[in-house]
A and B are shown apart, each in its own frame.
Chain A
Amino acid sequence: MAKVMTSGGEALIKALADENVDIIFGYPGGAALHIYDAIYQQDRVQHILVRHEQAATHAADGFARATGKPGVCLVTSGPGATNAITGIATAYMDSIPLVVISGQVPNHLIGTDAFQETDMMGISRPIVKHSFLVQKPEEIPVIVKKAFHIATSGRPGPVVIDVPKNLTDPNEKFEYKFPSDLYLRSFALYDEAENSEVKKAVKLLTEAERPVIYAGGGAINSNAAEEIYEFGKLMGCPVTNTLMGLGVYPASDEQFVGMLGMHGTYEANMVMHEADLIMAIGARFDDRITNNPNKFGLQAKKIHIDSDPSSIDKIIDVDVAMTGNAKKVISQINKELKAMNFDNKKFDPWMKKAMQWRADHGLNHNMLDQKNPGDIILPQQVIQSAYKATDGKAFVTSDVGQHQMFAAQYYHFNEPRKWINSGGLGTMGFGLPAAMGVKFAFPDETVACITGEGSIQMCIQELSTCGQYGLPIKIINLNNRALGMVKQWQDMQYGGRYSSISYEDSLPDFIKLAESYGHVGMKVEKLSELEAAMEECFALKNKLVFLDVYVDPDEHVYPMLKAGGDMSEMYLSKTEKTFE
Chain B
Amino acid sequence: MNHIALLMENQPGALSRVIGLFSQRGYNIDSLSVAPTQDETLSRLTMTIGEEGADINQILKQLYKLVDVVMVQNLSEADALTLELAIIKLNKTKADVEGLIKNYEFEREILDEKDNYTVFKVLGDTQEIENLLSELKKEEFLEVTRSGTLGITKGNESLATNDQTKISYD
Contacts and interface: CB of A to CB of B under 8 A. Distances in A.
Interface residues of A, number: 22
A122 B16 contact: yes
A131 interface: yes
Given A312-B169, A321-B169, A129 B67 contact: yes
A121 interface: yes
A310 B68 CA distance: 16
A330 to B, nearest CB: 19
B70 interface: yes
B20 A126 contact: yes
A310 B60 CA distance: 9
A46 to B, nearest CB: 30
A154 B167 CA distance: 17
A308 interface: yes
B65, B69, B161, B169 — most chain A CB neighbours (10 Å): B169
B13 interface: yes
Contact of B65 (A121, A185, A310, A321): A310
B58 A314 contact: yes
Contact of B164 (A129, A131, A133, A186): A186
Contacts of B162: 185-186
B67 A130 contact: yes
Given A125-B20, A126-B24, A133-B12, A185 B161 contact: yes
Nearest to A197: B169
B62 interface: yes
Interface string A308-347: 1110111000100100000000000000000000000000
A579 interface: no
Given A125-B20, A186-B71, A133 B13 contact: yes
A457 B46 CA distance: 49
Interface in A176-194: 184-188
Interface string B59-79: 001101111111100000000
A150 B67 contact: yes
Interface string B146-166: 000000000000000111100
A318 B64 CA distance: 21
Contacts of B67: 129-130, 150, 184, 187
Contacts of B57: 313
A131 B61 contact: no
Contacts of B64: 188, 309-310
Given A125-B17, A133-B13, A186-B161, A309 B24 contact: no
Nearest to B62: A310
| Range for the number of chain B residues in contact with chain A | 20 to 34
A268 B160 CA distance: 47
A282 B64 CA distance: 20
B152 to A, nearest CB: 19
B33 to A, nearest CB: 21
Contacts of A312: 169
Interface in B48-64: 57-58, 61-62, 64
Contact of A185 (B9, B13, B61, B167): B9
A89 to B, nearest CB: 12
B144 to A, nearest CB: 31
B97 to A, nearest CB: 43
A133 B12 CA distance: 9
Interface string B77-101: 0000000000000000000000000
B58 A313 contact: yes
A185 B162 CA distance: 7
A404 B110 CA distance: 70
A310 B16 CA distance: 20
Nearest to A190: B164
Contacts of B65: 308-310
A309 B61 contact: yes
Contacts of A125: 13, 16-17, 20
Contacts of B17: 125
A186 B13 contact: no
Contacts of A308: 65
A126, A308, A310, A321 — most chain B CB neighbours (10 Å): A310
Interface string B13-31: 1001100100010000000
Contact of A131 (B9, B13, B69, B163): B13
Nearest to A314: B58
A312 B170 CA distance: 11
Contacts of B20: 125-126
Contacts of B13: 121, 125, 131, 133
A411 to B, nearest CB: 34
B16, B20, B65, B69 — most chain A CB neighbours (10 Å): B65
A129 B66 CA distance: 8
B9, B13, B24, B68 — most chain A CB neighbours (10 Å): B13
A150 B17 CA distance: 16
Interface in A117-131: 121-122, 125-126, 129-131
A133 B57 CA distance: 30
A131 B61 CA distance: 19
B54 to A, nearest CB: 14
A150 B65 CA distance: 11
Interface string A102-138: 0000000000000000000110011001110100000
Nearest to A129: B67
Nearest to B169: A321
A150, A309, A314, A318 — most chain B CB neighbours (10 Å): A309
Contacts of A122: 16
A383 to B, nearest CB: 37
B58 A188 contact: no
A147 B20 CA distance: 21
A314 B26 CA distance: 14
24 contacts: A125-B16, A125-B17, A125-B20, A126-B20, A129-B67, A130-B68, A131-B13, A184-B67, A185-B9, A185-B161, A186-B69, A186-B70, A186-B162, A186-B163, A186-B164, A188-B64, A188-B164, A309-B64, A309-B167, A310-B58, A310-B62, A310-B64, A312-B169, A313-B57
Interface of B: 9, 12-13, 16-17, 20, 24, 57-58, 61-62, 64-71, 161-164, 167, 169
Given A121-B13, A126-B24, A185-B162, 5 more contacts: A125-B17, A126-B20, A133-B12, A309-B65, A312-B169
